[in-house]
Amino acid sequence: MLEFGSINTDKVESQKPDIEGEAEKVRVLILGSGPAGYTAAIYASRANLKPVMYQGLQAGGQLTTTTEVDNFPGYPEGVTGPLMMQDLQKQAERFGTDVRWGMATAVEFSKEGGSHKVWIDDEKIIEAETVIISTGATAQYLGLDSEEKYKGFGVSACATCDGFFYKGQDVAVVGGGDTAAEEATYLSGICKKVYLIIRKPIMRASKTMQERVANTENIEVLYEHVTKEIVGKQAVEGVLLTNAKGEEVRKDITGFFVAIGHKPNSDIFNEYLDMDNTGYINTIPGTSKTNIPGVFAGGDVQDKHYRQAVTAAGSGCMAALDAEKYLGERY
Ligand code: NDP
């Protein structure tokens, strides 16, 4: 659970351009359109709060970059990420959510919980009684061209989402933190062999996770190895690494999992909201409440531990219920 009350010391003032004309007033403004945002929208619109959603840069969120989603309850045959997001959008719109293109570029939150101003695309101002932040997080990638080329064809940033497709095969995980150790352990139960590629001579993951990795027979840790290139024809067939001696090493794999951290999409809020050092928004444990009354957060922007579609949807539901309660208590 995130620690509430720790303050990000690295606050940046967001730019708030002068815009002519009246601000549009809304009761519930939802920022971001992943499972958290759409679930918040379904609940808020069913409560007749007429939510307005701005979809953000990547409409549908991170799931639109995955292929099959097999672990969201209620889809016995699985579903593709993009189709699931389309269904969620249709469901939110059926109850009256106003779903719009555009992204929040600056905010001015009222510390006393009055109306909160949000700039959209530096062109329009919304004055919202409540704001639900569900802007998600972005997986960090190594930045290799080959990694970009094979995204969805062997390169993934989520073992829980995609590991199943590599059943009985050899795969690699890159990263030395808790996520990488967890992903490697998870994959070891599905795959024949898992290479864990770590750039340093040590693993940053917690002791427990390190022990778990060490005690798993089919995980081979490659310390001081740097990924040079991912190779293959239509899909991933291998990875080229450079070892500490500067030699090139090739490992034949069909899946390459990147686990080098996520960056929550929270920069524009950091002048107002309590966050941890990475930028995850702190919420009061057991709720979606931030330190600003009327501003709520759900999904990956406030969750560095679980990061699943279903947990994001659950926390989006919490945010809508918390917003509804807050509005009810104000009048
Ligand atoms: P971390 O930032 O902890 O670790 C990132 C890892 O990726 C580090 O080993 C880092 O290497 C490596 N890395 C970064 N950039 C590159 C690169 N370009 N090439 C190769 N390797 C790279 O991220 P995590 O996602 O693992 O964890 C984030 C937070 O979430 C942590 O606080 C963690 O403890 C927590 N967490 C907790 C879990 C749990 O309690 N169950 C599960 C998952 C995460 P280097 O060490 O050299 O910098």
Position 7 in a domain: no
Cα 163 to ligand 1 centroid, rounded to whole Å = 19
Round to whole Å and give the CA distance between 285 and 185: 28
Does residue 243 sit in the same domain as residue 275?
Answer: no
What does the pLDDT read at residue 10? 46
What does the pLDDT read at residue 65? 59
Position 11 in a domain: no
Instruction: Give the end of a domain, one of 235, 258, 281.
Output: 258
| pLDDT of 62 over the 80 cut | no
| pLDDT of 13 over the 70 cut | no
Position 226 in a domain: yes
Q: Which atom of ligand 1 is nearest to the CA of 181?
A: 26
Write the single-letter amino acid at 69.
Answer: V
pLDDT per position as a tens digit, 68-92: 677 899 999 988 888 999 999 999 9
Residue of 138, 203, 204 best suited for mutating to test ligand 1, as the one with most atoms within 8 Å of CB: 204
Position 15 in a domain: no
> Is the CB–ligand 1 distance for residue 305 below 6 Å?
yes
| pLDDT of 4 over the 60 cut | no
Q: Which atom of ligand 1 is nearest to the CA of 175?
A: 7
Does residue 67 sit in the same domain as residue 92?
Answer: yes
Round to whole Å and give the CA distance between 184 and 311: 21
Does residue 199 sit in the same domain as residue 93?
Answer: no
Please tell me the total count of domains within the chain.
2
Does residue 146 sit in the same domain as residue 234?
Answer: yes
Q: Could you tell me whether strands 236-242 and 124-133 are parallel, antiparallel, or unpaired per DSSP bridges?
A: unpaired
What does the pLDDT read at residue 57? 80
User: Where is average pLDDT lowest: 63-77, 126-140, 227-241?
Assistant: 63-77
Does residue 127 sit in the same domain as residue 196?
Answer: no
Question: 153 exposed, middle or buried (CB, 10 Å; 0-12, 13-18, 19+)?
Answer: middle
pLDDT per position as a tens digit, 287-329: 999 999 999 999 999 998 898 899 999 999 999 999 999 999 9
What does the pLDDT read at residue 67? 59
Q: What is the mean pLDDT of the chain?
A: 91
- Residue 106 belongs to domain with CATH number: 3.50.50.60
Position 4 in a domain: no
Does residue 254 sit in the same domain as residue 274?
Answer: no
> Is the CB–ligand 1 distance for residue 56 below 6 Å?
no
Instruction: Give the end of a domain, one of 258, 291, 312.
Output: 258
Cα 164 to ligand 1 centroid, rounded to whole Å = 23
pLDDT per position as a tens digit, 148-175: 999 989 999 989 888 999 999 999 999 9
User: Where is average pLDDT lowest: 60-64, 224-228, 281-285?
Assistant: 60-64
Does residue 229 sit in the same domain as residue 281?
Answer: no
Does residue 322 sit in the same domain as residue 183?
Answer: no
Round to whole Å and give the CA distance between 128 and 130: 5
Does residue 127 sit in the same domain as residue 270?
Answer: yes
What does the pLDDT read at residue 179? 86
Residue of 179, 196, 198, 263 best suited for mutating to test ligand 1, as the one with most atoms within 8 Å of CB: 179
Catalytic residues: 158, 161-162
> Is the CB–ligand 1 distance for residue 27 below 6 Å?
no
- The pair of structure tokens assigned to 290 is 């931030």
What does the pLDDT read at residue 7? 35
pLDDT per position as a tens digit, 101-133: 999 999 999 998 889 999 999 999 999 999 999
> Is the CB–ligand 1 distance for residue 176 below 6 Å?
yes
Position 322 in a domain: yes
Q: How confident is the model at residue 5 (pLDDT cuts 50, 70, 90)?
A: very low
Distances in Å between the alpha carbon of 249 and those of 170, 187, 203, 254? 16, 22, 20, 16
Instruction: Give the end of a domain, one of 258, 288, 315.
Output: 258
Write the single-letter amino acid at 105.
Answer: T
Cα 105 to ligand 1 centroid, rounded to whole Å = 28
Does residue 47 sit in the same domain as residue 92?
Answer: yes
> Is the CB–ligand 1 distance for residue 175 below 6 Å?
yes
- Domain span holding position 29: 24-138+262-330
Comparing CA positions, the residue from 190, 246, 194 lying closest to residue 222 is: 194
